[in-house]
Structure 1
Amino acid sequence: MANIRQFRILVMGRANAGKTTILQRVCNTTDNPEITDGKGNKVFIATEVEAKCFQRGHHNIEHELVFSSNPGFVFHDSCGFEAGSARQFDEMKNFVVDRAVTTSLKKRIHAIWFCIPMTDYHRTVTAAEQKFFNECDTGHVPVIVLLTKTDALHLAAMEELLDSGLDLGGAKQKAAEKERELLERWLAHIKGMLDKCKFPPKAYVSVQKMQEEGADCMALVQCTTNAVNEEGLQRLLISTQKSSIALCVEYAVRK
């Protein structure tokens, strides 16, 4: 464990789930990551089409994404497979299984972030999510479900409040409370479905306002730390993350 200097995370979920934005916030940057092929060779984004593909999350899962602001994290990005082919799903599954048990400690993934965007809250759990959690045994590697783009619930909250008879001013005053209520409701729904799967998630967390610079990632890092549940990896993650001094202090006191 002492030889491992980078915390490796596989990020999954539908296209347009805000995955790249979350990684930027965790690493405290607005820059795009450096991409390598896993052997140290840089993967260059040479054309405008390639740049758009990157922004939309179209990556080779084997590629390593590292931000210069925090090279202690290595990310792998799995393409959204909700409408993908069986081949894409099998490639992802093979990667997960291989990297969960590989004898090369430096190549193992330590956690999986599975993003479900609230922009699609009417279809929060699709057949693709159920397929993953029923067929992909990640072994000791914890899967954390991230509820992303939760600000999309604002419109739904306003609609419910206005439908209840409130005027626009009254609805605006109660909107934040109603958003929290809706988020809790959808979280309970997602947990209720995924916890019934053969290989359910280890934890759930909502990430909010990730589109804003300086967004608070403490809940995500703390949830991941607890889910890893292995002291060596917990120390690595705590030392790698730079978003919360308070978390470092809390962990030090707890240990």
Structure 2
Amino acid sequence: MASSTSYLHISGISVDFSKSGQNIESAELRLRDEQRLFGPDLGSEETFHETFVPPMKLSRGDRFSLGLLCKRPFPWENQRQDIDFDTEEVFRTCDTHEKHGQAIIIITAQAERTASSSEESLLRPTKDEIFEMCPRFRILVIGKSGVGKSSLINKAFGVNTLVSDERRGETDINTEFISEQNDKFVLHESKGFEPGEGDNLEIVQQFIQQRRQMMVLKYQVHAVWLCFEISRTGGRVLETDTERFLKLKRDGELGDIPVVVALTKYDKFIDHVEHTLDYSPLKGWNEDAVEKYINQTLEAERDVFTRRVQEAAGSDIPYATVSTKDVHKDMIAHLIEITEERVRQHVASEASVLAGVAQLVDPKLNIMTSIEVDKRRDWDALASTAAFKGKTVQACLEVLHTNMIHVWNIHDPHHYLDSKEFKALVVDLVDKLDIGSIANPNRNM
């Protein structure tokens, strides 16, 4: 490591106890007076991994250690072990591999150099800056029990377990739910606006107002999904307090936080229409004609319902019809796209990037978000060549690689995509393309 390195950003740590025989309950990384506590990976008691957002800042000479809380069989109590790291070794290699007995510890760090020009800082991955400002997409989901809130969240953000199963009892809107399967979104949940329960409208309004006053983007609410089940015509479409909530939004009382109406359980609506449809006039029709008639009936009944929703919501509050069935996954993608667009327009571009990163149902949005992140700095710099002049091919690819794999938010608990082996394969692949040989990754651009 060059002497110009002034300090390091410690962005993550991985610990593998599978061959050590140790039974570790928790771990704590300590840097000066700062501590980061973390536990075992989902589905494993032998591997620990934690990504630090924001990164921990390590200077030369700092006390840097890992504390382990080890479980002991009865009658011994839990015992703490401390592992001190060689700071100079961390500075020398950045990616530090240490063995403590049979345990393997990997520290991931990124050098912060004293730049000789503004070009040097351009090699820092853009996603680092975005994730520091807004590490998670924060969403509030409102809806009565049974309307499909949990199923919608789990489908949209690619988690298998019901998010709301982590806590039973009364819903607390201030509780933050973060899934171990996808930590790029944080959920706040509220029950719907039940008849005669006006308190919940006030609770939701106060919560949104409090979050609006927070100056830091990552603590603000970035979007609200108001969920209720699409139904056949007849009867009241919206409860009184739901209409009042939409009016608060129309009148500007809730500020710029995007509200999107999600009409859930469209598949159930289809089943109900088909099962109650009078088929007697269709006798003698061919199969295509019958299917066309059914589809027209479905669209007509849906349009009647959605027009009534639009009347209550107004033109500035969009809606999307959704189903969590795989055959209708494009509907959830549409909901995500509407939400991301509104967040970009009314909240912040960084929050819209995290909306694209957090969702795991719309590959098109992943592609657009990845391009957006790279265009912010890296591709523009690459096109001009000035910012990459004198930089190694490896350094340039590292920036693009880091942006892409983190923006795509692929569940990679073993961190294969961040491994040196995978990066070597990427370099080898690029070398085979018709851009001239880069077989030497240390060659300058």
Q: TM-score normalised to the size of structure 2?
A: 0.47
1:129 to 239, 242, 246: 242
Gap regions ≥5 residues in structure 1:
36-43
Q: Distance in 1 between matches of 2:279 and 2:312?
A: 28
Which residue number corresponds to residue 40 of structure 1? none
Q: Which has the larger radius of gyration?
A: 2
Q: CA deviation at 1:124?
A: 1.9
Q: Distance in 1 between matches of 2:185 and 2:257?
A: 16
Residues 211-230 of structure 1 mapped to structure 2, 5 A cutoff: 211-212=325-326, 215-216=329-330, 217-228=332-343, 229=345, 230=348
Contact 1:33 1:68 in 2 (8 A): no
Which residue number corresponds to residue 103 of structure 1? 215
From the superposition, tell whether residues 81 and 34 of structure 1 become closer, same or farther in structure 2 (CA, over 3 Å): closer
Deviates more, 1:114-123 or 1:130-139: 114-123
> Larger RCO: Structure 1 or Structure 2 (Cα < 8 Å, ≥ 6 residues apart)?
1
Which residue number corresponds to residue 160 of structure 2? 30
Which residue number corresponds to residue 63 of structure 1? 175
Which residue number corresponds to residue 21 of structure 1? 151
SS at match of 2:226: strand
Q: CA deviation at 1:165?
A: 2.4
From the superposition, tell whether residues 159 and 33 of structure 1 become closer, same or farther in structure 2 (CA, over 3 Å): closer
Q: Distance in 1 between matches of 2:196 and 2:219?
A: 26
Which residue identity lines up with residue 312 of structure 2 in the other structure? M
Q: Distance in 2 between matches of 1:91 and 1:168?
A: 57
Residue 205 in structure 1 maps to residue 323 in structure 2: no
Q: CA deviation at 1:34?
A: 7.6
Contact 1:221 1:241 in 2 (8 A): yes
Please give the per-residue CA displacement for 1:81-106, whole angstroms capped at 9, x wherever unaligned. Answer: 22253332211210111112322432
Please give the per-residue CA displacement for 1:136-192, whole angstroms capped at 9, x wherever unaligned. Answer: 522111100111111232255336741772359879634344223322231122102
1:138 to 247, 254, 257: 254
Q: Distance in 1 between matches of 2:194 and 2:182?
A: 31
Residues 1-255 of structure 1 mapped to structure 2, 5 A cutoff: 2-33=132-163, 45=167, 50=168, 53=169, 58-119=170-231, 122=234, 123-135=236-248, 137-158=253-274, 161-162=277-278, 165-167=281-283, 173=291, 174-195=293-314, 202-208=317-323, 210-212=324-326, 215-216=329-330, 217-228=332-343, 229=345, 230-251=348-369
Deviates more, 1:104-113 or 1:132-141: 132-141
Please give the per-residue CA displacement for 1:31-63, whole angstroms capped at 9, x wherever unaligned. Answer: 13388xxxxxxxx64xxxx3xx5xxxx511111
From the superposition, tell whether residues 34 and 156 of structure 1 become closer, same or farther in structure 2 (CA, over 3 Å): closer
Contact 2:282 2:290 in 1 (8 A): no
Contact 2:265 2:322 in 1 (8 A): yes
Higher strand share: 2
Aligned Cα root-mean-square deviation (Å): 3.0
Gap regions ≥5 residues in structure 2:
1-129, 376-445
